[in-house]
Amino acid sequence: MSDKESNQTNRSRRSFLKGATGAVVAGVSASAFSGVVQAQQPRIDWNQQRQRNSRRFWRKVKKQFVLDRRTTYMNIGTTGSMPKHVLEGYEDNNKLVAKYPWDMKNKFGSWPYVAEMVADVAPGFGANPDEIILSRNTTDGLCSIINGLHFEPGDVILTTHHEHIAATSPLNVVKHRFGVEVVEIQLPVFTGTEEVTQQDYIEAFREAIEAHQNVRLIVFSHITYKTGTALPAKEICSLAKQHQIPTLVDGAHTVGMFDLDFHDMDCDFYAGSGHKWQCGPGATGILYVRDNGNRLNEYWSDRDNPLWLINSSLSHADHLGKQLQMQYIGNDNYPAKQALVESCKMWDEIGRDRIEARILELSQQCKTQLSYALPDAKMYSPNVEGLMSGLTTFNPLSDVTDKERLTLFRDRLREEYGYIVRTTSFKVHKDDAHQTHALRISTHLFHDERDVDGLVEAIVDLYYSF
């Protein structure tokens, strides 16, 4: 095909999309907003707004973000976008710290300057303030707990074959440093050809617990970043509790997506991201330590100091309590942490239950339309209640091992249609000799039904000309 013919074809595709959706031009929502931050953004009372028409309500939510209107960003699983008023406050606080570095004009309260922040955040996650640490990200939380535990040779840690490197890396460290055995559980994986249920996941963990002696910790992702499957975290934690095994949950993709209640889940540790679905700034996160870590002392009563606070300037000051010890790491990025808190407040006012329902509604629409439009495509994300998340992982191409071709598909989806998604890879079975590659789509509260319609139209159009 000549360059002239190629250009004509691309223009034809874009014209097709515009006519097909009535609201999408080159994959861009017609209701997208300007990328310019307006000065002094008015504070919206979202509690009052909740009573209004749903479509109008979510349109107002969408307008609070400064995402580039020339593209439709659907890769929140990598990083989110701060709302306008959070951006404005972040900028103001950075200027304040630069101008008054000694006392910051008492903007962030008394030492260690996060007490009010934590008190604002904790209720939204079903936790007490003394159980929440404002960390740097999920990796920071996972590394702090795993590397701080008092492991000994012969200990066993159970995890899964679909964990992020943020977990597998510190697990590898303790494996070689202390002689710990790390056992990967084969997770059931939805492939579209066989049913997968919550009970299947629970049984996979049960069988692993019963098959190994001296299990000292279970580490698993609440939502696997590879397939977007939501695991039954509460039930897994309950199973672990029956065997007196502490649980560390990777919540990189749940904070800001799901309506979380840490007390109800009854995990021992929960590490989440602030910059993804919660739409805070980079290098922010939330780490939950249940009840000052006291249950760990019960489960690990055979060892002194079961948890050393390695990422802390106050690890020696036990009288302060673990929350304060772990929170204080010397001079911190207080404007970033305050920005995370402001984003959390917005989520709480909108209603985390309502946000979760909206995200899952759009995710279900995406999965259903893709499955209908491309019935031969491989879908790896369950479209069933209890296992579904805001991530949709699928591969429209016949050869799911062809990384190069799928990457080209992803890039053309962005360059020619304006939709930004990412690729991911995983092994369906942990002993597979090859990696399975897939596209991963994120649907969030700043999307609407037209964004999903336009994305599916673009994928289908690209597929039949690819």
Q: Tokens at residue 80, please?
A: 């989110």
Q: What is the pLDDT of residue 192?
A: 75
Per-residue pLDDT of the chain (466 residues; tens, 9 = 90+): 444 444 444 444 444 444 444 333 333 333 333 344 445 666 787 877 666 568 889 999 999 999 999 999 999 999 999 999 999 999 999 999 999 999 999 999 888 899 999 999 999 999 999 999 999 999 999 999 999 999 999 999 999 999 999 999 999 999 999 999 999 999 999 987 777 999 999 999 999 999 999 999 999 999 999 999 999 999 999 999 999 999 999 999 999 999 999 999 999 999 999 999 999 999 999 999 999 999 999 999 999 889 999 988 998 888 988 998 899 988 999 999 999 999 999 999 999 999 999 999 999 999 999 999 999 999 999 999 999 999 999 999 999 999 999 999 999 999 999 999 999 999 999 999 999 999 999 999 999 999 999 999 999 999 999 9
Q: Which of 9, 28, 91, 115 is nearest to 457 (CA)?
A: 28
Backbone angles phi, psi at 295, to 5 degrees: -70, -30
Q: Which helix (H) or strand (E) holds 37?
A: none
Torsional sign, CA 356, 358, 361, 367: negative
Q: Which helix (H) or strand (E) holds 49?
A: helix 46-49
Q: What is the pLDDT of residue 25?
A: 34
Burial of residue 434, with CB atoms counted within 10 A of its CB: 0-12 exposed, 13-18 middle, 19 or more buried = exposed
CB 396 within 8 A of CB 374: yes
Q: What is the pLDDT of residue 18?
A: 40
Residue 234 in 3-state DSSP? helix
Q: Which of 436, 297, 277 is nearest to 360 (CA)?
A: 277
Q: Which of 451, 450, 407, 449 is nearest to 425 (CA)?
A: 407
Q: Tokens at residue 54, please?
A: 């749903």
Q: What is the pLDDT of residue 41?
A: 61
Dihedral (C-alpha) 67, 69, 71, 73: value to the nearest 10 degrees?
30
Strand order in the sheet with 436-442: 378-379, 391-395, 436-442, 422-426
Cα–Cα dist 422/441, whole Å: 7
Cα–Cα dist 33/70, whole Å: 10
Q: What's the one-letter identity of residue 63?
A: K
Residue 304 in 3-state DSSP? coil
